[in-house]
Structure 1
């Protein structure tokens, strides 16, 4: 099994960040790579579309409002992995109420690619996503 994790400090309080990203169906609100999300099965599954027309289907597997994090598993995607589970988490920064740390991490089994290749793929997706989140919050 392989894994990767990316963190960014973003310009907003943890509560403000969580109010933007904490909804499982909220990716289009801050992630340009995902312009469309459709909630299914009472909001426990999301069907995502990217600009290339690829479909990604993910299931919510853990959600904690108080601790500001959720985890999801990929059910269908054009990625060379199986067993993918990812967590998006918002942390407070000691002594600061105007910034938050956001961590996006995942673990997965490479399928048709090396561990290094898929770790680099998801590190890039997470980094680009958190950069987009920071830009959305700064606007």
Structure 2
């Protein structure tokens, strides 16, 4: 099993960042490569559409308002991986008007090396967090 993690400090309170990203259907609000998200199964499954028209289907596995985190698995995606489980979490930074956002995942490569799949997901997480930081800066 391979894994990766990316984190980024954002100059906003953890509560403010969580308000933007904490909803399981909120990816189109901050992640440029997700154009649309539709919920099903009582809000536990989301179908995501990319700019290329690809569909990614994910299931919410756990959610904690208190910890400002949720974990999800991928049911269908154009990625060369299986057994994908990811967590998105927003952590307070004590004494500062800033927070740390951590996006991590584990997965089994399918037809590629551990390094290749880890690099792919690390790039997605890193670029996603950078987009989130820019979005938070733009909204003041």
Task: Give the TM bin, normalised by the shorter chain.
Answer: over 0.9
Per-residue CA deviations over 1:89-114 (Å, capped at 9, x if unaligned) read 00011211x21100000000000110
Match of 1:127 in 2: 126
Deviation of the 1:35 alpha carbon:
1.1
Match of 1:108 in 2: 107
Match of 1:84 in 2: 84
Deviation of the 1:52 alpha carbon:
0.5
Q: CA RMSD in A?
A: 0.5
Instruction: Give the secondary-structure state (helix, strand or coil) at the position aligned to 1:7.
Output: strand
Structure 1: 4+ residue segments shifted above 2 A: none
Match of 1:117 in 2: 116
Q: 2-side partners of 1:90 and 1:126: how far apart?
A: 14
Match of 1:14 in 2: 14
Match of 1:28 in 2: 28
- Give the paired residue count: 138
Q: How does 1:42-81 map to 2 (within 5 A)?
A: 42-81=42-81
Question: TM-score normalized by structure 1?
Answer: 0.98
Structure 1 residues without counterparts, runs of 5 or longer: none
Deviation of the 1:130 alpha carbon:
0.1
Structure 2 residues without counterparts, runs of 5 or longer: none
Instruction: Give the secondary-structure state (helix, strand or coil) at the position aligned to 2:15.
Output: helix
